[in-house]
Amino acid sequence: VRDIKIIEVLENLNNIKAERQRQKAYEFLYMIFEKARINDYVEKNIMANIDKPKHKKKNSQPLTKEVEQRLIEACDKVLHGDYLLVCLYQGLRKGECLAITTDDVNFENNTISINKSINDRNQFDTTKNEQSNRIIPMFDRTKQILLRYKDKQGRIFNFGSKILQKALREINTRIAYHLKIKDLRSTFITRCQEMNIPEFIIQSWVGHTIGSKVTKSVYTKYNAQDNTKYINIFNNTEFYSNSTH
């Protein structure tokens, strides 16, 4: 560690083409040098003199209703299409949906417990943040799908990123679109907004941090009756009404 020079670090970081990987490498090196500094192996953390690489986040896009319908129809014809539909119908993050086990699904109360995630190594991990740990309503369309997995043990969607990407490529070919998993979550939120479901209800469903003091004060006081009211609105809307699921 003492022998590593700033120029060596910069050269290696610049050789990493992927922005997010470059950023992760920086964070990892910063942690190593900081621990070395704390333990008196080096006088200073040389990473503090290097600007953290920027990562341009790709924004998700909600699907148009036309593309959405093509997706729903295509999911009937591809392996792991059920996974994509559950992401769409529940507004789940990729890792959250992959981590759902049969024990997380309560068919009597029509709820799903979101309490873990699957990471890039296809292993159980924590959720994104504290707000992400939640119990959400299981909507009618989702229940129709998950009932088929009721007797399965462990993870309902037991596969990793490579298999998921393969399924996604097939879906994109069928629907002539460049779908990203995060687009499904964005579509769910957009449809909820179109139904005029209050922000604090949507946030409780998708595990978002409450953005304002007003929203926070309402969110912490909402009751089961409010929740049931908007669950019924969601289930009775024309949202996905043409789906065969």
- Cα separations in angstroms, 18 against 22, 26, 195: 6, 12, 39
Contact status, residue 231 vs residue 139, Cβ threshold 8 Å: yes
The lowest-confidence range among 5-9, 70-74, 190-194, 224-228 is 224-228
Confidence of residue 128 (pLDDT cuts 50, 70, 90): confident
State phi, psi for 82 to the nearest 5 degrees. Answer: -60, -40
Residue 57 confidence (pLDDT): 66
pLDDT above 90 covers what percent of the chain? Answer: 64
Residue 113 has pLDDT above 70, yes or no: yes
Average of pLDDT values for 90-96? Answer: 96
pLDDT tens across 215-242, in order? 233 333 455 666 777 788 888 876 655 5
Residue 139 confidence (pLDDT): 97
